[in-house]
């Protein structure tokens, strides 16, 4: 009995030590923002709040010059970061920043592709390999196939047509396609997301590694009539990429249902941790949405 108690005490002490180490060494994170076809003035601050409120991330911001302004000094140093969160669509970065970013990812840096960041850099080959699928900004069949879920598998459709569209914003159900991945393990197979855009007809290299969630883009809401891949992982070099197409930003942080959705926030946190470390230590929260019920964290804090 004493031996068993000693082993349990050692296990508890070890778990406490691991927890403390993780809390004392938050994941050093850089959010890149400053230009976007969405409300980046709100989105980057909300992303920062979600990440830092978890106490798992230490966040810095890289805010670019405004569209059309001199970008030559927007030269970023990624060497001190484990994770880069992309909240940027706009003018090209300086070539030095491009190369430093690619080097960061190739050597094992983590990346989160957030919502409209997959609209960026249509003609940057490596960036499109990092995001796997993108839309808008002159994307078409030359950008790669449409990719969607059909008959239990991902389909690559090389038909001609535009890349990127969505119907009207609405609540919709996410369908798990990989329940064993560290990001999704323990989460519901189906859960309802708050009012948001549902990206469809996305095109690109289609080099998805782990498809995590899809959703049906209903023609009644102006969608494609297909089951669309919305949350997935990508590999590039030694780097891990977490791509979420959820999160169309509202007018203010207080009126921002897609990002106030508990499901969005939990997946962002779990995907970010995985991209940075390859693991997910966060427990499944009790307030995660169900198939029929949306859940909200309006203050962007875990309950």
Residue at 18 is within a domain = no
The whole-number average pLDDT for the span 256-284 is 98
DSSP string, the chain: -HHHHHHHHHHHHHHHHHHHHHHHSPEEEEEEES--SS-HHHHHHHHHHHHHHTTSEEEEEEEPPPTTS--TT-----TT-SEEEE---SSPPPHHHHHHHHHHHHTT-EEEEEGGGGGS-TT-HHHHHHHS-B-STT--GGG--EEEEETTEEEEE-----S-B--S-EEEEEEES-SSSTTTTTS-SEEEEEEE---BS-BS----SEEEEEEE--GGGT--SSEEEEEEEEEETTEEEEEE------SSSSS-HHHHBHHHHHHHHHHHHHHHHS---PPPPTT---SS---B-TTS---
Residue at 21 is within a domain = no
pLDDT at position 14, please?
39
Residue at 88 is within a domain = yes
* CATH number, position 71: 3.40.50.880
Mean pLDDT in the chain? 94
pLDDT of 117 over the 50 cut: yes
* Residue among 193, 194, 211 nearest 202 (CA): 211
**pLDDT tens digit string along 141-192?**
999 999 999 999 999 999 999 999 999 999 999 999 999 999 999 999 999 9
pLDDT at position 2, please?
44
Q: What span, in angstroms and rounded, lies between the C-alpha atoms of 265 and 259?
A: 7
Residue at 298 is within a domain = no
Q: How many domains does the chain divide into?
A: 1
pLDDT of 1 over the 60 cut: no
Quote the tokens at residue 199.
């990206």
The whole-number average pLDDT for the span 260-283 is 98
Residue at 171 is within a domain = yes
Conformation bin of residue 126: beta by default, left when phi > 0, alpha when psi is -120 to 50: alpha
Percent with pLDDT over 90 in the chain = 91
| pTM flag (> 0.85) | yes
The whole-number average pLDDT for the span 99-116 is 98
Q: What span, in angstroms and rounded, lies between the C-alpha atoms of 41 and 51?
A: 17
* Residue among 214, 231, 232 nearest 151 (CA): 214
Residue at 3 is within a domain = no
**pLDDT tens digit string along 87-107?**
999 999 999 999 999 999 999
pLDDT at position 303, please?
76
Using 50, 70 and 90 to split pLDDT, how confident is the model at 302? confident
Residue at 300 is within a domain = no
pLDDT at position 93, please?
98
Residue at 244 is within a domain = yes
Q: Could you tell me the residue range of the domain that residue 79 belongs to?
A: 27-277
* Residue among 269, 153, 272 nearest 211 (CA): 153
pLDDT of 23 over the 80 cut: no
């Amino acid at each position: 009995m004493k031996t068993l108690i000693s082993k349990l005490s050692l296990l508890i002490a070890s778990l406490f030590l691991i927890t403390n180490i993780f809390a004392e060494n938050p994941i050093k994170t850089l959010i890149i923002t400053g230009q976007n076809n969405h409300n980046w003035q709100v989105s980057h601050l909300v992303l920062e709040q979600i990440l830092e409120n978890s106490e798992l991330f230490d966040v810095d911001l890289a805010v670019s010059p405004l569209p059309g302004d001199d970008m030559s000094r927007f030269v970023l140093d990624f060497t001190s970061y484990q994770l880069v969160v992309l909240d940027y669509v706009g003018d090209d970065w300086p070539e030095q920043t491009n190369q430093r970013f690619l080097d960061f990812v190739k050597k094992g840096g983590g990346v989160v592709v957030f919502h409209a960041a997959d609209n960026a850099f249509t003609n940057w080959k490596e960036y499109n390999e990092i995001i796997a699928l993108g839309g808008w900004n002159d994307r078409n069949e030359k950008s790669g196939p449409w990719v969607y879920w059909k008959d239990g598998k991902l389909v690559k459709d090389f038909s001609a047509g535009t890349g990127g569209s969505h119907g009207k914003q609405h609540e919709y159900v996410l369908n798990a396609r990989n329940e064993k991945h560290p990001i999704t393990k323990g989460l519901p197979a189906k859960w309802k997301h708050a009012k948001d855009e549902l990206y469809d007809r996305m095109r690109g290299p289609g080099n998805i590694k782990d498809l995590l969630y899809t959703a049906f883009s209903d023609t009644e809401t102006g969608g494609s009539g297909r089951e669309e891949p919305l949350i997935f992982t990508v590999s590039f070099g030694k780097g891990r990429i977490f791509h979420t197409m959820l999160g169309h930003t509202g007018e203010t942080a207080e009126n921002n249902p897609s990002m106030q959705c508990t499901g969005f926030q939990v997946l962002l946190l779990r995907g970010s941790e995985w991209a940075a470390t390859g693991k997910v230590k966060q427990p499944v929260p009790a307030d995660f949405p169900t198939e029929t019920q949306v859940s909200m964290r309006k203050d962007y804090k875990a309950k």
